[in-house]
Structure 1
Amino acid sequence: MRTAMLLTATLLAVGCSNDTIDDTDVNNDALYGQYQGHFDAKDGSLKFYAQLRVGGPTGTTVRLSAPANFTLDGQPMSEHDGDEALVNVSGTYYFLQQSATAPNDKYTFVWTRNDEQQFTNEITMPQAFTVTAPAEGDGWSGGDLVIEFQGPPLQNATGVSEDILVTLTATARAGEGQSQVLSESITAGEQVVFPESEMLKLPAGEVTITARKGRRSPV
């Protein structure tokens, strides 16, 4: 099996509108902000997203009018429109990508309004973890598949929730069925178990393991 690890800190809402309105047409004191940071340990990419909405976490997205802007640790974020389904971002959002061997503990977003007021929001990245089993190249021939981790305990205190989501992507050999995806998650512990009954649904072929650690907290 091939193993790929994705370490991610995520602040998100599900089922959001992708409509957009200009900030000059809304009350800037009543906007809802969403801030995300994602680190992919496989390719060393850091991706950051900032988004404003009117009407709550699923409301219409807001486009900033110059000189209003977003920065991430002092670096300007660029405006984008579209649908980033993998990170649950749609409509108008602000984006910055960096490269790093490991993420910082914290990152700071600053929203500067046209009236020159500034609003600061900070996200904390989850602590690093490693997948200790199975090893890359291992095979599966029966029984439950156990994915084991090593790292700090998952935090689930007031206002903070962490989880680990493991996804198996099975690529079928030619003529041996269709590719399949299985997912399991935990909020405590150091292993994720895929029952044999689920594993038997996968076609013969190569399986890629992706482990993602997420952290959610209010900003």
Structure 2
Amino acid sequence: MIYISPSPVKNHGKILNSQPLVLASTSPYRCELLSRLRIPFETAAPDVDETPLLGESARETSRRLSHEKALAVASRFPNALIIGSDQVALLDGQQIGKPGNHDNAVRQLQAMRGKTVVFYTALTLLNARNGEIQTEVAENRVSFRQLSDEEIESYLHLEQPYNCAGSAKSEGLGIALIQRMEGDDPNALVGLPLILLISMLKNQGVSLF
């Protein structure tokens, strides 16, 4: 449940930073993750073109887009702390985005089976009040099982993960596709690096306790 309030909020007896918190995303996965911190927040669609630039690495793409998403909503929330995040997957040197449909998802999972995919999840926290910006990238490596075409089809019909980079929802049935995971933050794989976010919020005077 997302609770939205523009006023200072007491959390476990301490006053949080009085700035409103805005998530520059309408992703239900990022909303759910952020709600775990029990801080009131609003959401706003950033409307940013996510096409990679020519010659841009996957890490650079995720970092740039997280920054652009935060900036895209800043004019609407000039007094807020704004969270921007973006995820890019890399397989065999090629960036992998959201499949968008069933056929693309089949091709992605067929290409990923038996291989390791690197997920770069960038996080930006913009203090729109004073212009301070923090940006970091969490990296997670995911090794996929040697999946049959039948397993891929069955999974996609059950999960329909067409708005997830790499077509695998690790927080859902997609965990059955994965043989091994390692990296900076399991939350980042879902879409929002909470470990990094907590540190960034602390730098802005926001205490969770």
TM-score, structure 2 as length reference: 0.29
In terms of fraction of residues, the more helix-rich structure is 2
Bigger radius of gyration: 1
Q: Give the structure with the higher percent strand.
A: 1
- TM-score (normalizing by structure 1): 0.28
